[in-house]
Amino acid sequence: MACSGCGCKERVNLLEVYPEKRRALDEYIDQLPLCEDMERQKGFLIGCLHKAQEIFGYLPLEVQECVGKRLRLQQSDIYGVISFYSFFTDQPVGKYKINVCTGTACFVRGADKILDGFKSALGLEDGQSSADLKFTLSTIRCVGACSLAPVVMVNDRVYGNVTPKMVSAIIKDCE
Amino acid sequence: MSDTITLWIDKQPITAIKGETILEAALRNGIEIPNLCYNKKVSHTASCRLCIVNIAGRPGAIPACTTPAEEGMTITCFSPALEKVRRTTLDLALSNHNDDCISCVKDASCQLQDLAFRYNLGFKDRQFPPIWEELNKTSDFSSQVLNYDASKCIQCKRCIKACSELQGKGVLTFVNRGIRTTVGTGYAEWKDSKCDGCGECAQICPVGAITVKQFYGPRTRIRQKDIERVVRTTCPYCGVGCQLDVATRRCFSEGVGSKDLMIQVTGADVVPNYGRTCVKGRFGLDFVTRPDRLKRPMIRKEGKLVEVEWPEAISYTAHRLSEIRAKHGPAAIAGLSSARCTNEENYLFQKFIRSSIGSPHIDHCARLCHASTVAGLAITLGSGAMTNSIAELEHASVILVTGSNTTETHPVIATYIKRAVLHHKAKLIVVDPREIDLCRFATLWLRQRNGTDIAWINGMVQAIIENGWENKAFIASHTENFDATREVMKKYDAKTVEHLTGIPAAQLVKAAKLFAQAKTASIVYSMGITQHAHGTDNVKAISNLALVAGQIGRESTGVNPLRGQNNVQGACDMGALPNVFPGYQKVDDATAHDKFATAWHNKHLPEKVGMTVTEIMGAAHDGTVKALYIMGENPMISDPDITHVKASLAHLECLIVQDIFLTETAELADVVLPASSFAEKTGTYTNTERRILPLARIVDPPGDARADWEIVQSLAQALGHAWNYDDTNDILREINALVPQYAGITPERLAAGERLQWPCPSVTHPGTRFLHKDGAFSRGKGLFSAVDHIAAKEQPCAEYPFVLNTGRMLYHYHTCSMTRRTEALPRYVKDAYMEMCKADCDALGVAHGEIVRVSSRRGAINIPVKLTEIVAVGSVFIPFHFAEAAANVLTNTAIDPTAKIPELKVCAVKIEKL
């Protein structure tokens, strides 16, 4: 996996670079009621991947393999899930993940204009991250806050009733 | 209660077997309901929606493949409405499928093509445009043996299910979603994944999405319709004895002319493998056509091996042998038979050594693998073979695997073990110092210190007795010597055992409970138990464990030593051992002696027990053995302490080597005789489950090469013996007459398709699936043995601080004389390596791939390090296959006092950074 710090092409192993993050993941898995039944073990996978992505920001191969080893699952089991759910990503993401909701309610209330605003302000297309890995721009489908449409999420924070004028303020808010 | 039911399909009454689905019943009755994702061997997906039917009283269209047939069901299969839906569904599938049939290897054997034809869906008849071109899904051609063309994939999931359900590997999955779904491994490229290339996915793919790379024959692409002939035969690699369908075609090649050549190998859907194979069986048989096959006999003249004609080679060899016999007596000649050759050839070879030469010294490489099993189990149970059948493993409720890296050494047997866990909720206990692949499936993995097996086995026996889990009724009525044994076991309480072996006491007791209380429990073991200086005691300890729990003599319940080579079981059965005639009839037993003296018309058969492989090498070294005839073995790599072996062979006056390649041993020979490979001759192999499986002649041998049995017969005739076997059936008939276990396994029954397991004492006997039925042991009662823990002969010390373990790996076989001469297998692993854990690598300051010097008290080799988590701290593992870094330069010749098996599994080494 390319280095996520300085942008160089050097392969780094996140588990080795961040032993404290690895410990956090291990601690999470340790407290799971793991069992001998291989099929039931699969039930823990999505929770573990959520946790791992929360800790590392994304799911590079070594993190996937680490989860697989702990749950005694094959790499195929893991990648099948990661590539199926758009929430998971195996590519490095920016420090601030700007998710513009394009679900039906937000779309009707002008989400496309909000997205355009972020595209031009950040110089990014949907799904791209900035070179300094500060921002990632992407779209999501409905965060369950339709009454606030259109909605933008930056990491865990939700901005409601967003207008194109608010775009620069939201970006500024990150810094 | 009847086990059939009647249902109505399109107004016709149909008989279905209870438990069948509608689709299965229909297909069996010749009603061709269209289907794509269905395959009888894997669970049904119902994703292709082609087998939809209407069932009276139920709404909508229902997939026939997942709906059980029920009594009185009224089903509509072929109404115009259903056919219209099917046609549209197919049309959609074709829209997402690259139907470039003209250049597809599955042309004319593609299920989608067949259905498109049946529903008349040519290009002009389709409603939907070809969208596959725009989707540009990612294909993957990086696997060493497979190709995945995503544009042809129809997402039927059969490959994914074959990988996980049939092979138990689970390497494949769907990646991405919706219309962009493809099959992948979860790695950037297929070659990075854990796919080991068994090819099960290619065999089950209904279209041309996953196909095999072409390794056989001169053409680079082969379709089903290019095949001219398909011959069923037995795989020449491990002891599973997989049945293979080998396809041939007449091809022209330079220097050889027009000749039938192998062009494709698939797994045959019969016992024992039911279609499954490993990478070696499917892709590793092209050694047969290698240009460096031995084609003419050779004699050493003025220090060089020179090609000669057969008459000269035979008369020269016979002359040398009679000269040596006249001068030094028959006992100066020894023979090494081969676990790679057929039963018939092993039978003739031992007959040649014993009768034509008159020497007692006949042995083969079983000495180096299961000699301790043959000796140990013969003493305790009365028969030194697998007690159960391979397929029974799938239904055992507890399986204890120890000293067997089954996934790599017996890949198809491993699939049965994994299926037991995955599909039948079996509990797997693995006891192994390495974290082998099976550990992933294990309920318990106990990691013992190398060479402490008796301690943990005794510990389990003690835990069973201590907790009252023993089978008291079984012990009382079917065993002897229990009381004396129980006394010895008392020393092995779980805490003491933890101290000796490193296995936590609680885990040991848990394993003991699981094993003892299981409904059916099988022990599976291999070289990790046998290749020790106390190997026979290890085996006795194993049988104690089975006996104390009464876990033997029932279906899926018993003691199962996995035999390593294709015919090592047969070679032992045929008496290629120094102490027994064929059928384990003792050479020093007067009745047996008379029986064979009469049958072979020779009053002067040797009466004493001969020397073993290890002893023969010693005798060659000190000059008591002057001539050695080796058929199909390569002791220059396989035997312990190779430096000593080389010196011994150099001391011989005459070394005769009969092989298919100029092996490391053949290079030292005075006479080299070119033999036929498995593909060029007839005969039988006996696999590890005692099943006699025939070989078929698929292609002609190269040059003047002859079948081993023909060569042995020519030599016997040249020595003045009136042998007159026309074919291998003649020899098998003689075996039928002399070997009670094989009496009923006649050429006629084999030709009729029977695949019998010995003992089969008469032509009407159905063969024996499992031995010692209901506690009726071959020796009468099962014998408990009071065996004590003995430490390995060589312990790590200050000078040699590491424990070296040796063994096999998936992609190579024994001394590599075959596997390195294949196209596919070296692509996976080309050279030797030594497994070492990260902590040891860091301590020595060596990196992955760095070459280090490994030395023991006997020799030293240079070998690259493979960084892995498999081995424990302080221990290393080297596969013994590779000549340039032969593990057996290092190994210890300390031998087991009973079986004379060397301690190949444990020795002390030091490792130096270069």
Domain boundaries, chain A: 14-84, 96-174
pLDDT digits (tens, 9 = 90+) for B307-345: 999 999 999 999 999 999 999 999 999 999 999 999 999
pLDDT of amino acid A93? 85
pLDDT of amino acid A142? 83
Asked if B185 and A38 come within 8 Å (Cβ–Cβ), the reply is: no
Asked if A80 and B194 come within 8 Å (Cβ–Cβ), the reply is: no
Q: Which residues from B are below 8 Å from A75, CB to CB?
A: 171, 185-187, 193-194
Asked if B184 and A76 come within 8 Å (Cβ–Cβ), the reply is: yes
Q: Which residues from A are below 8 Å from B176, CB to CB?
A: 83-84
pLDDT of amino acid B148? 97
- In the predicted structure, residue B399 carries a pLDDT above the cut 60: yes
Three-state secondary-structure class, residue B124: helix
Q: What is the mean pLDDT of residues A11-34?
A: 89
Q: Which residues from B are below 8 Å from A76, CB to CB?
A: 170-173, 184-186, 193
Interface test with B, best of A74, A84, A91 (most B CBs within 10 A): A74
Looking at every residue in chain B, the average pLDDT score rounds to: 94
- In the predicted structure, residue A4 carries a pLDDT above the cut 50: no
Rounded Cα distance, B245 and B275, in Å: 9
pLDDT band at B209 (very low <50, low <70, confident <90, very high): very high
- In the predicted structure, residue A40 carries a pLDDT above the cut 80: no
Asked if A38 and B441 come within 8 Å (Cβ–Cβ), the reply is: yes
Strand partners of residue B253: B257
- In the predicted structure, residue B422 carries a pLDDT above the cut 60: yes
Q: Which residues from B are below 8 Å from A36, CB to CB?
A: 427, 443
CATH of domain A96-174: 3.40.30.10
Tell me the nearest-neighbour CA distance from A157 into chain B, angstroms: 28
For residue B173, the chain A residue with the least C-alpha distance is A76
pLDDT of amino acid A98? 92
pLDDT band at B562 (very low <50, low <70, confident <90, very high): very high
Asked if B194 and A78 come within 8 Å (Cβ–Cβ), the reply is: no
For residue B175, the chain A residue with the least C-alpha distance is A80
Rounded Cα distance, B605 and B620, in Å: 22
Asked if B443 and A36 come within 8 Å (Cβ–Cβ), the reply is: yes
pLDDT digits (tens, 9 = 90+) for B440-475: 999 999 999 999 999 999 999 999 999 999 999 999
| B729 contacts B679 by C-beta, under 8 angstroms | no
Q: What is the mean pLDDT of residues B636-661?
A: 90
Rounded Cα distance, B197 and B195, in Å: 6
Q: Which of A38, A72, A76 sits opposite B185 (nearest CB)?
A: A76
Tell me the nearest-neighbour CA distance from A83 into chain B, angstroms: 5
- In the predicted structure, residue A175 carries a pLDDT above the cut 80: no
pLDDT of amino acid B728? 95
pLDDT digits (tens, 9 = 90+) for A89-99: 888 888 898 99
For residue A81, the chain B residue with the least C-alpha distance is B175
Q: Which residues from A are below 8 Å from B175, CB to CB?
A: 79-80, 83-84
Asked if A80 and B185 come within 8 Å (Cβ–Cβ), the reply is: no
- Residue B299 C-alpha from the chain's centroid: 35
Q: What is the mean pLDDT of residues B75-96?
A: 96
Rounded Cα distance, B178 and B196, in Å: 28
Tell the residue number behind the tokens 């003649």, with chain if given.
Answer: B730
Q: What is the mean pLDDT of residues B571-584?
A: 94
pLDDT of amino acid B576? 95
- The b/e string for B620-644 (b: 16+ C-beta within 10 A; e otherwise) is bbeebbbbbbbbbbbbbbbbbbbeb
pLDDT of amino acid A11? 63
pLDDT band at B502 (very low <50, low <70, confident <90, very high): very high
Tell me the nearest-neighbour CA distance from B677 into chain A, angstroms: 38
Q: How far apart are the first and last CA of chain B?
A: 75
Q: Which of A38, A72, A80 sits opposite B174 (nearest CB)?
A: A80
- Residue A93 C-alpha from the chain's centroid: 7
Please report, rounded to a whole number, the percentage of residues in chain B having pLDDT higher than 70: 100
Please report, rounded to a whole number, the percentage of residues in chain B having pLDDT higher than 90: 88
- In the predicted structure, residue B369 carries a pLDDT above the cut 50: yes
- In the predicted structure, residue B541 carries a pLDDT above the cut 70: yes
- In the predicted structure, residue A79 carries a pLDDT above the cut 90: yes
| Chain B residues touching chain A at CB-CB below 8 Å | 169-177, 184-188, 193-194, 421-422, 427, 440-441, 443
Question: Tokens for B410?
Answer: 């017996």
Q: Which residues from B are below 8 Å from A16, CB to CB?
A: none
- In the predicted structure, residue A6 carries a pLDDT above the cut 60: no
pLDDT of amino acid A1? 42
Predicted model pTM: 0.92
- ipTM of this complex prediction, to 2 decimal places: 0.83
Interface test with A, best of B171, B173, B174 (most A CBs within 10 A): B173
Strand partners of residue B403: none
Tell me the nearest-neighbour CA distance from A91 into chain B, angstroms: 12
- In the predicted structure, residue A10 carries a pLDDT above the cut 80: no
Q: Which residues from A are below 8 Å from B421, CB to CB?
A: 38
Tell me the nearest-neighbour CA distance from A80 into chain B, angstroms: 5
User: Which domains are present in chain B?
Assistant: 4-78 (3.10.20.740), 132-285 (3.30.70.20), 298-368+567-742 (3.40.50.740), 386-561 (3.40.228.10), 802-913 (2.40.40.20)
- In the predicted structure, residue B884 carries a pLDDT above the cut 70: yes
Q: Which of A36, A64, A75 sits opposite B185 (nearest CB)?
A: A75
Phi-psi region of A90 (alpha: psi -120 to 50; beta: other; left: phi over 0): alpha
Tell me the nearest-neighbour CA distance from B274 into chain A, angstroms: 25
Q: Which of B171, B440, B443 sits opposite A76 (nearest CB)?
A: B171
Q: Which of A36, A78, A83 sits opposite B176 (nearest CB)?
A: A83
Rounded Cα distance, B431 and A72, in Å: 18
Q: What is the mean pLDDT of residues B122-142?
A: 92
pLDDT digits (tens, 9 = 90+) for B238-283: 999 999 999 999 988 777 788 899 999 999 999 999 999 999 999 9
Comparing A14-23, B250-259, B673-682, B696-705, the range with the smallest average pLDDT is B250-259
